[in-house]
Amino acid sequence: MVYIMLSMKYLSKILLVAIIAMSLSTVQARPNKHKDKPDKPRPEKKIDKEKVKERLKAAAEKRKKQRGSKKPKHFGRWDGKRIQSEELNELREKMRELTKELHELRKKHAEEMKKRMAEIKKEFANKRDKVIEGNKPGE
């Protein structure tokens, strides 16, 4: 029994050493991040400002041509005001007149309702006790 325990301890020590050795070897197997890079001969870049300006102008003109054919975007909503025709303008004017008329009708109705509510309030102002007596529970 003692012999088995000693052999288990011995095997566990060997396994521990092997695991440590493997972990150290994998850590060292990574490429060196701070490795000196070899100097490659690179030609100096000569930037010609005139050519750059010409390229930018050409790109802007190309963009303008492409944008001209597309419909305008107003945050995902298109209001339809870009279409110009006599029929549509007449319809728009009629709609404006109708909305004004509707607004006036709403104002008149609100005034009438205020008057009617005031009349009802006056009518039932002094009849509170009669209404309460008339609503007796259990009848």
Indicate whether 49 belongs to any domain. Answer: no
What is the domain range of residue 122? 87-139
**pLDDT values of the chain reduced to their tens digit, one per residue, 139 residues:** 566 666 888 888 888 998 888 877 666 666 777 777 777 887 888 889 999 999 999 999 998 887 766 655 555 565 566 667 788 888 889 999 999 999 999 999 999 999 999 988 887 777 766 666 666 665 5
Domain membership of residue 96 (yes or no) is: yes
What pLDDT sits at residue 58?
96
Q: Kindly state whether residue 124 falls inside one of the protein's structural domains.
A: yes
Q: Does residue 19 belong to any structural domain of this protein?
A: no
Domain count, the chain: 1
**What's the pLDDT at 24?**
72
In a domain, 40, yes or no: no
What are the tens digits of pLDDT across the range 29-68? 667 777 777 778 878 888 899 999 999 999 999 988 877 6
Report yes or no on 139 lying in a domain: yes
pTM for the structure as a whole: 0.32
108, part of any domain: yes
DSSP string, 77-137: B--STT---HHHHHHHHHHHHHHHHHHHHHHHHHHHHHHHHHHHHHHHHTTHHHHHHHS-T
Query: Amino acid identity, residue 51?
Result: K
Tell me the torsion sign for CA atoms 103, 104, 109, 115. Answer: positive
CB 90, CB 98: distance < 8 Å: no
Provide the pLDDT for residue 81. 60
pLDDT, residue 21, reads 82
